[in-house]
Amino acid sequence: MILTIDHGPIRELRLDRPPVNALSAELISVLRQAIATGPSQGVRALILSGSPGRFSGGLDVPSLLALDRAAIDNVWHDFYGLLGALAQSPIPIATAITGHAPAGGTVLSIFCDWRVMAEGDFRIGLNEVQVGIQMPPLILIALRRLVGPRQAEHMAVGGELVSVQEALRIGLVDAVAPADQVVNRALEWCQHLLALPPEAMLGTRREARADLCALFEPDTESELREVTATWWRTETQNTLRALADRLRKKS
């Protein structure tokens, strides 16, 4: 489900779960482990990438709808653990957004250090509300940190997906590049950081990201209970099942 490609001290973790790199329970767990273990293996920076035209389609709704309450609890705990691994990573992480990145695809990127997106007719954003999922508070705070409070409110409440150029304009991504160069652009960004005096760079990075890391330092259990409770709302389940039916008809 993940291709590991080492570019010297920089490791690329390429999502490889066709057709849309949807985040199943298994992929969430594998990705969390890959991010957490990189630094202990001598990796000095990470790149999170996807397949051409599709970074990630977000949560794998059809597979998650088949899970019982205990399993859904585990998925959300693991997903928060994945976001924490991204936010608290001791090494920089760039996201090479290789194509469409709705919902969970965008969520992964906003907890990383830097984002470059492929040029083209692609969409990115947090459209959870459109598919019946209430935005988790921790994710909303991270979005607000990135694009500002008013823009975050518009994006989260309306659940709209935006174009590549609009994402660049509002600060949801940091750069754009031709589709065949998006990973190379992420590599260049990582190489630039690694060429700096390491103690100064990493120490400053820790300070700059302290607010993001702090989101995971208090006990998140109460928030997770609320998040999983919203998953089982009648409205949420009905909207997600309608989405799953549409996806099945397309496949």
- Evaluate if residue 30 carries a pLDDT over 80: yes
C-alpha dihedral sign at 6, 46, 82, 104: negative
Q: Is the separation of the CB atoms in 100 and 57 below 8 Å?
A: yes
In a domain, 143, yes or no: yes
170 part of a folded domain: yes
Evaluate whether residue 189 is within a structural domain: no
Residue 241 in any domain: the answer is: no
Average pLDDT over residues 214-243: 92
Domain that holds residue 166: 2-179
Q: Can you give the pLDDT at residue 250?
A: 79
Is 120 contained in some domain? yes
Residue 215 CB contacts under 8 Å (≥ 6 apart), including other chains: 87, 138, 141, 142
Summarize pLDDT for 67-126 with one digit per residue, the tens.
Answer: 999 999 999 999 999 999 999 999 999 999 999 999 999 999 999 999 999 999 999 999
**Model confidence over 134-147: pLDDT tens digits?**
999 999 999 999 99
Residue 77 maps to which CATH number? 3.90.226.10
In the chain, the largest separation of any two C-alpha atoms, in whole Å, equals 54
* Inside any domain, residue 102: yes
> Rounded CA gap, 106 and 23, in Å?
12
Residue 70 falls inside a structural domain = yes
- What is the rounded CA–CA span in Å between residue 238 and residue 68? 16
**In the chain, how many domains are there?**
1
DSSP secondary structure code for residue 159 in this structure:
T
pLDDT at 169: 97
- Judge whether 61 lies within some domain: yes
